[in-house]
Amino acid sequence: MALTLFSTWAARTGRVLRNAPISELTPEELVEFWTDDQLEEPYGPVTGGPAATP
Within a domain: 40: no
Within a domain: 30: yes
The predicted pLDDT at position 53 comes to 57
Q: What sign has the CA pseudo-torsion 32, 15, 36, 54?
A: positive
Within a domain: 24: yes
State the residue range of the domain holding 22.
2-34
Within a domain: 41: no
- What are the 10-residue block averages of pLDDT along the chain, 54 residues in total? 88 89 92 78 59 58
**Which has the closest alpha carbon to 39: 50, 47, 26, 29?**
50
Whole-number Å distance between alpha carbons of 25 and 9: 16
Within a domain: 11: yes
Within a domain: 20: yes
Within a domain: 9: yes
The predicted pLDDT at position 26 comes to 94
Whole-number Å distance between alpha carbons of 6 and 34: 9
Within a domain: 43: no
Q: How many domains does the chain have?
A: 1
Question: Which residues neighbour 18 within 8 Å (Cβ) at sequence distance 6 or greater?
Answer: 25, 29
